Copies of this chain bind each other. A is one copy, B any other.
């Protein structure tokens, strides 16, 4: 009888924080069981030859929006499929009550089981949910969510106080809120997350992710830009949500986090202002281990491209100088995770003009190609750093580590085999999302996954998905709390 169910042989194994190692990987059931200079083929039920390829830990795309614009199960199916093509085995999706998603509000005790129910059987990848607390009542459910449902990351949207997802001044009705959703709410929210963090700190970090844009500024800047359009929609939109609104929001978040001792993640920083403020926050509060997050589109696109309103996203695509500052922050280690902020939409969903259409789009499938091309090749970022940005760091900050996030004995056998020499042009046809457009259209990237393995099962190879929807499981976090500290 073979010792291993599967062996990945002859690959260059990219281990975060360690480097590139020539080794064979032996898998038994769902776990990595052996890493060895040589595993004899005869010891394996199946051998995958990774000669000339690089074996990464599959990515944890820690910022995702399954079901935001489309039915959750349907969206999970198509978008986790796209993720699987792109090198992502764990999707961390944000969920909130209110409009979009399930279009309802109420206690998470009632709604979260429905979320899990709809998710079951729909994912090609493992998944977790970061939960957005929207009401005072839900604040009191935080401890329950950690303990019973394995939620370690929460979220707050700074602009919901005033604006909806199109950037228009919305109303409470929009989000089905029964309260003001302002900094006072955030303060109470943070106090409760901090309390949970204190309670569970031996098992992991309970944190609050924050979308940092100051809506009152955006509101007046948008009004102004509506009357001063220039014909460059992405630039206009950037000016309508000016970078200093990120700076203000980050400062507010920093002070509240410091006051309440709440660990925070500052999401999708898009600009020089945001990076500067984010770095100041990190320096002032080392005890909070503040995470600065970057996204594919803010790293890969600038607002001087002749792309239209379909590229609308919050915060907006910025100028080239901002983009280079973001890359510098990635290189310096200020930005610790790179994510897609994937929100699958369609031309139809995004109908309207620059000001009335919905924001957001998807990109999870190009996570590795973009980082390998723009980061590794163009800017000299090492392969292990790429693995840290996409896998190790998201797993650590969002408490999936050491189950996910590395290649180690006892870790989940989640592997992405990547051909660094494969070059492909991005197009709607080449991607596998349900989205019928992409702002990355026409860009060539070099370095694409060719095979992916989720907990020991091959789900993608030979340019085909071979796994079944439903192979993906919901993961409770912190994993050390829910699966024991020897979980690796």
Contact = CB atoms under 8 A, between A and B. Distances in A.
A159 to B, nearest CB: 12
Interface in A10-53: 13, 15-23, 26, 28, 31, 33-39
A417 B320 CA distance: 52
Nearest to A17: B17
Contacts of A410: 21-23, 37
Interface string A265-301: 0000000000000000001001000000000000000
A287 to B, nearest CB: 8
B216 A21 contact: no
A216 B180 contact: yes
Contacts of A377: none
Nearest to A328: B286
Interface in A282-324: 283, 286
A184 B217 contact: yes
B217 A187 contact: yes
A116 interface: no
A219 to B, nearest CB: 5
A31 B35 contact: no
Contacts of A231: none
Nearest to A277: B255
Contact of A244 (B35, B37, B219, B255): B255
B18 A406 contact: yes
A38 B410 CA distance: 11
A404 interface: no
A220 interface: yes
Contacts of A187: 216-217, 220-221
A381 interface: no
Interface string A395-418: 000000110001011100000000
B18 A408 contact: yes
Interface stretch (A104-112, A121-129, A245-253): A245-253
Contacts of A31: 37
Given A180-B216, A214-B183, A255 B259 contact: no
Given A184-B217, A283-B283, A409 B21 contact: yes
Interface string A178-200: 00101111011000000000000
A227 interface: no
B185 A220 contact: yes
A408 B21 contact: yes
A236 to B, nearest CB: 18
Contacts of A22: 409-410, 486
A428 interface: no
Contacts of A244: 255-256, 259
A34 to B, nearest CB: 4
A488 interface: yes
Nearest to A13: B409
Contact of A18 (B184, B185, B402): B402
Contacts of A220: 184-185, 187-188
A216 B183 contact: yes
A191 B217 CA distance: 13
A255 B18 CA distance: 32
Given A22-B410, A184-B219, A244-B255, A33 B36 contact: yes
Interface in A30-89: 31, 33-39
B19 A488 contact: yes
Given A244-B259, A255-B251, A402-B19, A35 B409 contact: yes
B183 A36 contact: no
Contact of A332 (B286, B409, B486): B286
Nearest to A286: B332
Contacts of A409: 13, 21-23, 35-37
A21 B488 contact: yes
Contacts of A408: 15, 18-19, 21
Top 5 A-B pairs ranked by shortest CB distance? Answer: A184-B220, A17-B17, A34-B36, A184-B216, A182-B216
Interface of A: 13, 15-23, 26, 28, 31, 33-39, 180, 182-185, 187-188, 214, 216-221, 244, 247-248, 251-252, 255-256, 259, 283, 286, 332, 401-402, 406, 408-410, 486, 488
6 contacts: A15-B408, A19-B408, A21-B409, A34-B36, A247-B255, A252-B252
Given A16-B17, A18-B402, 13 more contacts: A22-B410, A33-B37, A33-B38, A34-B37, A180-B216, A180-B219, A184-B218, A184-B219, A184-B221, A187-B221, A244-B255, A248-B251, A248-B252
